[in-house]
Copies of this chain bind each other. A is one copy, B any other.
């Protein structure tokens, strides 16, 4: 029998970071505006698990008109330059839907020229690899340029296509490129790769998990057939929530409705979409994304200001001894990856070892550095007020100065 006290303690859990400045690169685009938090609470949307399902008539959340989810999804599609959108259990589920559909498509009518292979960028997010793994697609990658910029070239995608063609006598079934990759915040040449995909007639997916909702993103300009989006990463929304946006051509295939008929009872589930598990549930994340949408549509217009802020911050960070941004220059995204030999050096003297840096930052009210890391630092100042951006910089400066002195580190 379970101990009563053991269960009771879950009531006492506190949010240790309430009120902190958040700099975690997967979080800064997913901060929910205070007005939205307020309305989620005040309107009672967080009072029930199936928040949006009261007026579901057809049995799929994306078809619900009260609240206006079907309109919202149409607007999302248009907003990203597509024709149709479905919400999903995060961007990972959107990617899975694409890979699953491709996996089914290959070897069938219209798909015989394609192999069960997906060509991905060499710094794709792990969810892209895992989606391929689950869908039974093999991954191939072009190279990147390595340290310190890690850039990819469109022509290397073409070479890889030719290589696959030669080896398998077939084209890759899909090209999947991360718009901005999660390691260094590099923006991939998605338009150029899109043109190559178009030439070869290979279905093309762009994973915009880190961009759609923070900067202008248009899948038509990218020549993309599928855009995968993370609402909790970049659309000021609660998680888990993603969107899969596509064009009319592919919508029929990827959003095709359930065909299974149960053997004895003869039941069919015609409104359900198997690639998104039938219905992706009208939960609180979906409601939060709807409320945040006007805010998101506004904020992407200020992307150049955000970029300016980010570049200012890079300059300030690089004033510290040997601290250097890894990834492309000029930087075109708010995800920043610095190598920080000075903090690595400090960690060797510190009794908390590599943990000291995140710890000290938390003590200064700044949260989001990966615990245990000091040799490299990944962070984002996206959406922060200038005061807070400066506070983040000052915190790094102060920590460095304090320990250089304390441990008598030679920085000459």
Contacts and interface: CB of A to CB of B under 8 A. Distances in A.
A189 interface: no
Contacts of A267: 126, 129
Interface in A365-382: 367-368, 370-372
Interface in A26-68: 26-27, 30-32, 34, 37, 40-41, 43-51, 53-55, 57, 59, 66-68
Contacts of A55: 16, 371
Interface stretch (A87-95, A243-251, A326-334, A335-343): A87-95
B284 A284 contact: yes
A259 interface: yes
A206 interface: no
B272 A68 contact: no
A69 to B, nearest CB: 10
A145 interface: no
A262 B89 contact: no
A48 B32 contact: yes
A82 to B, nearest CB: 13
A67 B17 CA distance: 11
Contacts of A259: 133
Among A2, A278, A291, residue most surrounded by chain B Cβ atoms (within 10 Å)? A278
A154 interface: no
Contacts of A96: 277
Nearest to A277: B92
B2 A239 contact: no
A67 B272 contact: no
Looking at chain A, what size class is its interface with the partner chain? 35 or more
Interface string A105-133: 00000000000000010111011011111
A263 interface: yes
Given A46-B238, A130-B260, 14 more contacts: A2-B297, A24-B54, A31-B48, A37-B41, A49-B231, A49-B236, A54-B368, A126-B278, A133-B259, A133-B274, A134-B275, A141-B263, A238-B283, A284-B284
Interface of A: 2, 6-11, 13-19, 22, 24, 26-27, 30-32, 34, 37, 40-41, 43-51, 53-55, 57, 59, 66-68, 72, 75, 78-79, 89-90, 92-93, 96, 100, 120, 122-124, 126-127, 129-134, 139-144, 231-233, 236-241, 258-260, 262-265, 267, 269, 272, 274-275, 277-278, 280-285, 288, 290-291, 293-294, 297, 367-368, 370-372
24 contacts: A2-B297, A6-B75, A9-B68, A10-B290, A15-B67, A31-B49, A41-B46, A46-B46, A46-B238, A46-B284, A46-B288, A50-B233, A51-B238, A51-B239, A57-B371, A89-B277, A92-B277, A120-B262, A126-B267, A129-B267, A129-B269, A133-B260, A139-B263, A141-B265
